[in-house]
Structure 1
Amino acid sequence: GGAGAAFAPEQLHALVMLFLQAHATGYLISGVFFGLCCLVLGYLLFRGHVVPRWIAVGIVAAGFAYLLDCTANFLFPDLTTYTELLMLVNAVAGELSLCVYLLVKGVRA
């Protein structure tokens, strides 16, 4: 029963792979927008003096790392192992430091 009965098993497997690849591509595209968001957030934090500047710079670095990783996944798929590591290191350093700072110290008034 159901819509899956209209397809042969090979066709179902091909459709599943197509949708998985579409999801992966969509996820990478969303990473571009998240990287841009990190760049804007880092800039605003840097200009606003609400957190230490090194945290704002870390957020900007994370934004560039997200953009680099997403771009490399599309243009240079063989380098994704390195760009993912670079992205993870920058993202954890920048975003985690912002999170811990806000939890411990809060925003400067």
Structure 2
Amino acid sequence: MTVRKLEKSEWGQFFNDLSKGLKDAQAQVEIASLKLGDQVQVNWLPLFGIVYDQKDDICEIALKGLDHLIHRPREVNVEEEAGKLFSVEIIDGDNYHQIVKLKEPVGAPVKSS
């Protein structure tokens, strides 16, 4: 599997394209940090989408019954293989790693040139 770091200029379009292809996707959200250790925040809920709001500098992970907000994201990494997306890691300004794991991989948005 390949881990690819997205440039900040790619975030909005990547998440928009990803969200369009999430039909029936389920996700688990984990939070990892030196302060908290590793914690599962959400176990396998329907994932509606991920959005990056550049104006407010916030990522929103929209799941059934929960909107998880990530303030001041500074890095986004995606885990892909053979055109499929397995997970998205968003690291915030406090160095918390928020990892969205997909129960079943989905088609990865194509990197724009």
> Which protein is richer in strand relative to its size?
2
Higher RCO (CA-CA < 8 Å; seq separation 6+): 2
TM-score, with structure 1 as normaliser: 0.32
> Which protein is richer in helix relative to its size?
1
TM-score, with structure 2 as normaliser: 0.31
